[in-house]
Structure 1
Amino acid sequence: MKPTVHDIAAHAGVSLATVDRVLNNRPGVSIVTRRKVEEAVATLGYVRDLAAANLAKSRTYDFVFILPANDNSFMAGLRAEVLDAARRAGMERMRITILDTVAFDTASLVTALDEAEALKPAGVALVAVDAPDVAAGVSRLRRAGIPVVTLVSDLSGSERDHFTGIDNIAAGRTAASLLGRFTGGRKGTVAIMAGSMLVRDHRDRFEGFAAVMAADFPQLTLLPVLEGRDDPLHVEALLGGVLSKAADIIGLYSLGAGNRGLVKALEGLQPGRRPLVIAHELTPVTRAALLSGLIDAVLNQDAGHEVRSAIRVLKAKADGGAMLAAQERIRLDIFLKDNLPEQAE
């Protein structure tokens, strides 16, 4: 059974009136009590059912998702989650439009933002390229009264309403801690493969990774970051070239996508030459590589949770309500071959 406001009140040890004030962001609740209610919401997995209220008001939400049109497995999965939400949209009185952009292309994204503004939606979610022109486009949407959520990768210096994604600096720090421990004190070099340093999630991951490596594992030297643009063929060519030339590479951090190319490059090495590898996003490709030993650990974010969270936040902004921070926190999962979840049928 779905949790109710009665369950929240019982779990937090407060009255129904207090729960109602917190859920509707009304005054008269102390910080401590508000935190208890928000923690109860997160623990119980309570999701407010705004559909019934909006049905009575004949309210329909038009949302635009701006997504890069590339074929890496994570973005394909993210798109599939948006399409799944679009299929359910009628029941929740929503309409969802997807606008495609060229991956890592500032001009393409700015054009899509202008197209979104012309549609006059109730909210926009975008996978951001971290550039001033994109921030300016987001500002134009906000001035037009359109809420904006950045998805997966954030946007520096912008007026966006919310970022829906993992803490990418923490993700990079986690990757460094895992890789440093796995190498067991050995000296050597570490290769780093990014998609593009134009996007903030990749820069943040590198920042966190480099900081922990410098502080805790000074015996490991970081090679210059390779930028594969999340393209499997480009990733394979770049990594193949570096791995064939540098015999002292004992670690590899793949902080972007394009992992089909990563696996191909690793398969081309003799087993004794293969480095320890930390990658991002649990996909069929990285799952198989974990099981075969080509990849040692995968850091994962739940694309479905991110899409659902973005929709909840945009709905709350459109309604003039408040989001529940604990409910919208995106978790970072660490997978080894020993703790892989079962695959869906």
Structure 2
Amino acid sequence: MPHRYPVREIARQAGVSEATVDRVLHRRPGVREGTVLQVEQAIADLDRQRTQLRLSGRRFLIDVVMETPRQFSGLVRDALEQELPGLRPAVMRARFHLRETWQTADLIAALDTIARQGSHAVVLKAPDTPEIAAAIGRLTAARIPVITLVTDVPMSTRIAYVGMDNRAAGATAAYLMCQWLRRVDVDVLVLTSSSMSRGEEEREMGFRSVMRTHDPQRRIVEVTDSDGLDETCALLTARILDANPDVGAVYSIGGGNRGIVSAFRDANRTCEVFIGHDLGDANRTLLLSGHLTAVLHHDLRADMRQVAHSVMRYHGALPGDQRPVASGIHVITPYNLPDG
């Protein structure tokens, strides 16, 4: 019965003759025990490396489609491009379709164009709406898998969600707020960029749940649909500060943190605790200047690795059907700011 590897390949891996390998495979006498173990180890090594052999020469083209502030899309692009060399011997290329604001009809048109033109996968950060779910369904029908990133569209045919547990992230922000905000007369401003973002909605729900448990008297002032851009967040925060003299802490879920800081400065108000998300250049600067108290961060390179593995598993280049695991939530302060 033929072996799953050619005798010549096993012999080369084990460093013995083909005749010796043939005797071991057919359990013939005359081979030392140590040599038998050597051949068996060579076969085990080939088994482990079979995935690499299967990947050799495979090429994948993925489309990254995101509606998000430029700060975050830049982080995602950098993380993916840093991760791609580590996927060798497979080769993966990415096309980026990135906008800070995107009309739903235009976003759906972009997804439908990809469905017609073809792709090995779509990595998607988009609002959780029935129209987006339907567009994902059309990509699935075209045998193009969709992986949602950071924010999910769970009632769709996407094959995986990659990112942090957003409810846990919001709960973590609330826990830190309760520990650090000691004055009982301070209200907390919570800003989200889009009411259609499931990830942001889950963060807010996690935040409110823990605040109700640990600090039930604390008043929360909410700003929705800020778009996460500095100019808009500055304007909306200024209005809140003008109307709410007790606002003195911030949980920024959707970005625009430089605008929020400028609004507090222009109003001559103090922000006692300011918690944000993601380590873009702006948030690094705000951490180091003391304007941000902490940033909740996750390893985007690890996310991109999970994305790539999901794509390759779908196309049979990696074994198994392992689902991505939730990204770890890291609390970053000026004193443990990672390089890069």
TM-score normalised to structure 1 length: 0.77
CA distance in 2: counterparts of 1:215 and 1:179, whole angstroms: 13
Equivalent position of 1:243 in the other structure = 241
Where do residues 26-65 of structure 1 align in structure 2 (5 Å cutoff)?
Answer: 50-55=51-56, 58-65=57-64
Could you say which residue in structure 2 is the equivalent of 1:131?
129
Shift of 1:295: 1.5
The within-5 A match list for 1:131-280 is 131-184=129-182, 186-270=184-268, 273-280=270-277
- 8 Å contact kept, 1:196–1:202: yes
1:264 CA displacement: 2.0
Amino acid of the structure 2 residue aligned with 1:103: T
Contact 2:181–2:272 (Cα < 8 Å) also in 1: no
Equivalent residues of 2:192, 2:200 under 8 A apart: yes
The Cα shift of 1:192 comes to 1.0
Q: Give the distance between the partners of 1:148 and 1:274, measured in 2 at CA.
A: 40
**What is the alpha-carbon distance in structure 1 between the residues aligned to residue 170 and residue 176 of structure 2?**
10
SS at match of 1:97: strand
Q: Which runs of 5+ in 1 are unaligned?
A: 1-15, 25-47
The partner residue of 2:331 within 330, 334, 340 is 334
SS of 2:222's equivalent in the other structure is coil
Letter in structure 2 aligned against 1:290: L
User: Closer, same or farther in 2 for the Cα pair 1:113/1:132, shift >3 Å?
Assistant: same
Secondary structure of the residue aligned to 1:171 is helix
Q: 1:331 to 1:49 in 2, by over 3 A?
A: farther
Preserved contact between residue 73 and residue 98 of structure 2 (Cα < 8 Å): no
Q: Find the aligned partners of 1:94 and 1:291 in 2 and give their Cα distance.
A: 36
Which aligned runs of 4 or more in structure 1 are off by greater than 6 angstroms? 86-90
The structure whose Rg is larger is 2
Distance 2:326 2:202 in 1: 18
Between the two proteins, the alignment pairs up a number of residues equal to: 298
One-letter identity of the residue aligned with 1:319:
G
Instruction: Note if contact 2:250-2:271 (Cα within 8 Å) is conserved in structure 1.
Output: no
Counterpart-to-counterpart distance in 1, 2:179 and 2:86: 44
SS at 2:66 equivalent: strand
CA distance in 2, matches of 1:176, 1:299: 11
Deviation at 1:308, TM superposition (A): 2.1
One-letter code aligned to 2:252: S
Partner of 2:3: none
Q: 1:311 aligns with which of 308, 313, 319?
A: 308
- % identical aligned pairs: 27
Q: Which letter maps to 1:291? A: L
Corresponding residue for residue 105 of structure 2: 107
SS in 1 for 2:62: strand
1:278-326 superposed Cα distances (whole Å, 9 cap, x missing partner): 111122222222222211111012222222211111111111742444x
Distance 1:284 1:101, change over 3 A: closer
Task: Tell which deviates more after alignment, 149-158 or 162-171.
Answer: 149-158
Q: Structure 1 residues 318 and 101 mapped into 2: Cα distance closer, same or farther (>3 Å)? A: farther
Task: Give the Cα separation in 2 of the matches to 1:187 and 1:181.
Answer: 15
Deviation at 1:266, TM superposition (A): 3.2
AA partner of residue 137 (structure 2): S
Contact in 2 for aligned 1:67/1:79 (Cα 8 Å): no
Q: Deviations over 1:123-174 (max 9, x none)?
A: 2111121110000111111122221100111113111110000000000011
Give SS of 2:170's match: helix
| Residue 282 of structure 1: aligned partner | 279
Give, in angstroms, the shift of residue 90 of structure 1: 8.3
Question: Contact (CA 8 Å) 1:123, 1:318: kept in 2 or not?
Answer: no
**In 1: Cα distance, 2:190 partner to 2:120 partner:** 40
Q: Does 1:68 align with 2:61?
A: no
**Is the 8 Å Cα contact of residues 101 and 108 (structure 1) preserved in structure 2?**
no
Provide the rounded CA distance (Å) in 2 between the counterparts of 1:49 and 1:262. Answer: 53
Normalising to structure 2: TM-score of the pair?
Answer: 0.78
1:205 offset after TM fit, Å? 0.5
Contact 1:101 1:109 in 2 (8 A): no
Q: Per-residue CA shift, 1:48-105, capped at 9, x if unaligned?
A: 89454232xx43222221123742x222211233344568888632332223345353
- Stretches of structure 2 that go unaligned for 5 or more consecutive residues are 1-40
Contact 1:105 1:129 in 2 (8 A): no
Structure 2 residue corresponding to 1:291, chosen from 288, 291, 305 = 288
The answer (yes or no) to whether the contact 1:100–1:112 under 8 Å persists in 2 is no
Q: What SS does the corresponding residue of 2:315 show, helix, strand or coil? A: helix
Alignment partners' CA distance in 2, 1:104 and 1:211: 31
Secondary structure (helix, strand or coil) at the match of 2:115 reads: helix
